[in-house]
Amino acid sequence: MGSRAARRARVFVVEADRLTKLYGSRVAVSEVTFRVGKGEILGFLGPNGAGKTTTMRMITGFLPPTSGTARVAGYDIRSEPLEAKARIGYLCESPPVYREMTVRSYLRFVADIKRVARARRDGLVDRAVELCGLDGVAHRVVGHLSKGYRQRVGLAQAIVHEPDVLILDEPTAGLDPRQVVDIRQTIRGFAGEQTVILSTHILPEVTVTCSRAVIIHAGRVVAEDTIENLTAGVGRMETVRIRVAREDGGLEARLLGVSGVRHVSRDGPGSYAVRGEGGDGLREQLAAAVLSSGAGLVELVRERATLEDVFLELVTEEEAAA
Amino acid sequence: MRAVLAILRREVQACFVSPVAYVFMVAFLGIMAYGFNVGLQFYARMPPLLAEQSEASLRTHVIGGPRGIIGWAQTAILLSLPGLSMRLFSEERRSGTIELLLTSPLTPAQLVAGKFLGALAVFACILVLTLPLVGVVAWKGDPEWGPTGTAYAGIFLFGAVVLAMGVFASALTESQFVALVVTYTILTPLLAIRFLVGMLGNPWDDILMGLSLRHALRQFGVGLVDTHYLVLFGTLMGGFLFLTARVLDSRRWS
């Protein structure tokens, strides 16, 4: 049994087991269960207020769950909190920095309270400084840095003790587009060796950085799969973009007449977005409809389903069921 | 242990870069210096005959006597230490760094110990800066070192109790001001208790006297180290630090 437990711990770095949090009678998070394997970057996706932060806080031991638990590298956060916490690197929504300290002294402080052996401390601080691109500012006071750099300092404190898992809560919130790209690149740089849970409400962030996603809505997990499978799952409904050479007033009505079409919108001169289901057959009929109208088909493209579609579909299904 | 030291060190550093902390330190030292001067003049004007009747040497009285700096130290502690301690946890909660501390492999006891010892270290630094006053007494006269030592021990213990209350208050709220008010709310009854002595008769008088922090400090000043008062100080300090750890452990953060 012991070796089996050890093997499980090696395979899954984080296991959230029916995590539930109630605030009074309000359910913030309900029975959230998922697992993260070693080296995986998991996207934890959901709209604001879905329970992402609450879930992250329960895994990191900041908030006690009402029921359920989480295990980090095999250590239960409720019964062995110190062992579990020592293996987590956590960047909360706003970077937990002391503004009056210099970057380097702050990272040394974090290394000390995260139980890094003294002999390894300075080396690990240097490594974190380098990985997060802080070389130029290591001797500056944190409070004087730009928001983007402060976020990097937050990231550096999360990785300084070489944690088994890195938990990042909305790491790009409030940054300008350039800083967002920088931070995402840094996170992607961890891929392969570092296990990461990335919580976000920004869909492209997940597509760009993660291999797998858990989608949470109103405190419940509504989907969990690889990005490819998630986007393939919405194959039933698709958006087809049609461009024609000549416009005549009747085209929109003709397109709507094709069986399987649910919605047609005209987004510009000669350009239509058709939403419907039916796969290849639908597109064949759409092409025939345009050709027979004499409008002159210039382009017909199926748009690949994005996570946005997945998300909207899952969330609306969920709301319809409720 | 290293984690406790790291928190202690950071606390002391944060204190010495904060202008607010300097204000309270300067206030403390100002009150002490003023009080020393007032006490010195009082005892210098005392008729020689009266001085002879006094049991302890008058020069020692300047430190620990009824008009000595020990009384002024009590005022200085009450005015400045709650101001130093109000920041300890409330600032961490306001800025969100509490999330770093509570997700680090630290027990609540280690966290509270680091914070409390940090504040105590700053207080010790301030007390060291008052030693020149004792130096003046030693230079111009011949103080009794026993009572002088117990007077300082009393001041230090009294300050530690006030700091423990302040640490507790600061863990309750993210507002420094609320923490300050709570500290005084806890302190006031323990100081005011002395004014009730003599109104209720025995055994109440003895009990109230035994709980009076002001009276305890006076005893230390005249060289009396009563184990009873050591227990009182120790209990208050330990009790409030224990409560602080409980508050942190209950983690009702939103």
Residue-wise pLDDT for B96-148, tens only, equals 999 999 999 999 999 999 999 999 999 999 999 999 988 888 887 777 888 88
B199 vs A73, more confident: A73
For the residues of B221-241, what is the DSSP string, one character each?
HTT---HHHHHHHHHHHHHHH
Residue A99 near chain B (CB below 8 Å): yes
Closest partner CB to A112 (pick from B6, B14, B95): B6
Pairing state between β A41-45 and A67-72: unpaired
pLDDT for B203 equals 79
Our CA-based measurement puts residue A196 at a distance from the nearest CA of chain B, in whole angstroms, of: 17
Of the segments B62-71, B129-138, B198-207, which one has the largest average pLDDT value? B129-138
- Length reported for chain B: 254
**Buried b / exposed e along A177-189 (16+ C-beta atoms within 10 A):** eebbebbbebbee
End-to-end CA distance of chain B: 30
- Asked if A41 and A210 touch (Cβ cutoff 8 Å), the reply is yes
H or E element, residue B183? helix B176-192
The residues with which A22 forms a beta bridge, in sequence order, are A27
A115 contact residues in B (CB cutoff 8 A) = 2-3, 105
Q: How many CB atoms lie within 10 A of CB A54?
A: 21
Our CA-based measurement puts residue B19 at a distance from the nearest CA of chain A, in whole angstroms, of: 12
Q: The pTM is what? A: 0.83
The residues with which A152 forms a beta bridge, in sequence order, are none
B7 contact residues in A (CB cutoff 8 A) = 113
As a whole number of angstroms, the distance between CA B129 and CA B107 comes to 34
Residue B57 near chain A (CB below 8 Å): no
pLDDT for B48 equals 66
Alpha-carbon torsion angle A217, A218, A219, A220, nearest 10: -50
pLDDT for B52 equals 60
* SS3 labels along chain A: CHHHHHHHHHHEEEEEEEEEEEECCEEEEEEEEEEEECCCEEEEECCCCCCHHHHHHHHCCCCCCCEEEEEECCEECCCCHHHHHHCEEEECCCCCCCCCCEHHHHHHHHHHHCCCCHHHHHHHHHHHHHHCCCHHHCCCEHHHCCHHHHHHHHHHHHHCCCCCEEEEECCCCCCCHHHHHHHHHHHHHCCCCCEEEEEECCHHHHHHHCCEEEEEECCEEEEEEEHHHHHHCCCCEEEEEEEECCCCCCHHHHHHHCCCEEEEEEEECCEEEEEEECHHHHHHHHHHHHHHHCCCEEEEEEECCCHHHHHHHHHHHHHHHC
Tokens representing A220?
């419940």
Residue A212 near chain B (CB below 8 Å): no
The residues with which A90 forms a beta bridge, in sequence order, are A167
pLDDT (tens digit per residue) in A77-125: 999 999 999 999 999 988 999 999 999 999 999 999 999 999 999 999 9
**Cα angle value A140/A146/A149 (rounded, 5°):** 70
CB pair distance less than 8 Å for B2 and A112: yes
Closest partner CB to A100 (pick from B6, B17, B253): B17
As a whole number of angstroms, the distance between CA B123 and CA B81 comes to 8
Average pLDDT of chain B, as a whole number: 87
B202 DSSP 8-state letter? T
A100 contact residues in B (CB cutoff 8 A) = 13-14, 17-18
What pLDDT band is residue B193 in, cutting at 50, 70 and 90?
confident
CB pair distance less than 8 Å for A115 and B100: no
What are the two backbone dihedrals, phi and then psi, of residue A139, each rounded to the nearest 5 degrees?
A: -100, 10
A105 contact residues in B (CB cutoff 8 A) = 13
pLDDT (tens digit per residue) in B5-54: 999 999 999 988 888 888 888 999 999 999 988 888 887 777 766 666 65
A86 contact residues in B (CB cutoff 8 A) = 105
pLDDT for A224 equals 86
pLDDT (tens digit per residue) in B151-160: 899 999 999 9
Tokens representing A180?
């967002």
B102 contact residues in A (CB cutoff 8 A) = 61-62
Mean pLDDT by 10 residues, chain A (322 residues): 49 90 90 91 87 93 93 93 94 92 96 94 94 92 92 94 93 84 84 87 81 88 81 69 83 85 84 82 87 86 71 66 56
Burial class (CB in 10 A: 0-12, 13-18, 19+), B131: exposed
- Asked if B251 and B103 touch (Cβ cutoff 8 Å), the reply is no
For residue A154, how many C-alpha atoms fall within 13 Å in the half-sphere facing its CB?
30
**Searching chain B, which residue's CA lies closest to the CA of residue A64?**
B251
Residue A1 near chain B (CB below 8 Å): no
Tokens representing A11?
């395979």
Which of A26, A113, A162 is the mutation pick for testing B, counting most B CBs within 10 A?
A: A113
Long-range CB pairs of A66-69, under 8 A, 24+ apart, other chains included: A66/A20, A66/A21, A66/A22, A67/A18, A67/A20, A68/A16, A68/A17, A68/A18, A68/A19, A68/A20, A68/A31, A68/A32, A68/A33, A69/A17, A69/A18, A69/A19
